[in-house]
Amino acid sequence: MIYIGCHLSVSKGYAAMGETMVGFGGNTFAFFTRNPRGGKSKDLLPEDAAALLELLDRKQFGPLVAHGSYTMNLCAAKTETRENGLDMLQKDLARMEALPGNYYNFHPGSHVGQGAEAGIALIADALNQNLWPEMQTTVLLETMAGKGSEMGGTFEELREIIDRVEHRDHLGVCLDTCHVWDAGYDLVNDLDGVLTEFDRVVGLERLCAVHLNDSKNDCGSHKDRHEKLGLGYLGEDALKRIVTHPALQGKPFILETPNDDAGYIREIRMVQDWM
């Protein structure tokens, strides 16, 4: 049993995404809370949310992994950009409460020349402003490739952010296989070592979801270019070991590979066949 799915469009509503994933043969999915390049989010109607929750329960789906906008930079150098990111985060988390028990994942951001220490402090401050004790959503920091001034390219940066957040019980991590590989963690030759390091620095109990992607680049390239499963530098054997690793069982696996619908259906079946 594995929870596997891909990103879906929210344009036709929330329940429609669930029906689409049932048709794809998967049992989890990701969606952008708003246009990935920014802009207004789609209204969440209570009856639409209720219909999706009923489907998730009936079809025994795993947790969903909503994704914040790529333009949400909580540690930007420009005050206006940071404030825009804070507004997105606040509104997205309020909307997610209509889908209790699921995940909200986001890219930590880029410090744009301010330095990692400043970036860590700003991200933690944004989370401290927007996480509350009774919330029913777990917020996930995504592992990143570490290109440029991007935050989250090391496990240590993620841990430093988490340690500064008051309500850290509502915080977790989404491990992106392409990003981690591109950041320099050798998932091909030392998967156990990478997971042991993650456990030592962050704690495996915080690893809540996996973005399952191959990479167009070699280990440590810091480039972040996703590839279809088995066609990149990670390769099918390594990806199969990741999917079947005992430490990762029960997690939702989300495909972010460069595919059309037919390609995602094919990859969902491929991953299921690995189990």
If one counts the domains in the chain, the total is 1
At residue 33, the pLDDT reads 87
Please state the pTM of the whole predicted model: 0.96
User: For residue 38, what pLDDT is reported?
Assistant: 62
The pLDDT of residue 42 is 67
* Below-50 pLDDT ranges, the chain: none
Quote the domain boundaries for residue 239. Answer: 3-274
**Could you report the per-residue pLDDT of 250-268, keeping only the tens digit for each?**
999 999 999 999 999 999 9
User: What local confidence, expressed as pLDDT, does residue 34 receive?
Assistant: 79
Q: What's 152's domain CATH number?
A: 3.20.20.150
pLDDT of residue 178: 98
DSSP for the chain reads --EEEEEE--TT-HHHHHHHHHHHT-S--EEESS-TTSSPPPP--HHHHHHHHHHHHHTT----EEE--TT--TT-SSHHHHHHHHHHHHHHHHHHTTSTT-EEEE---B-TTS-HHHHHHHHHHHHHHH--TT---EEEEEP----TTBS-SSHHHHHHHHHT-TTGGGEEEEEEHHHHHHHT--TTT-HHHHHHHHHHHT-GGGEEEEEE-EESS-TT-----EE-TTSSSSHHHHHHHHHT-GGGTT-EEEE--S--HHHHHHHHHHHHHH-
Task: Please tell me the predicted confidence (pLDDT) of residue 55.
Answer: 98
The residues that are catalytic are 37, 67, 70, 107, 142, 176, 179, 211, 224, 226, 256
The pLDDT of residue 44 is 80
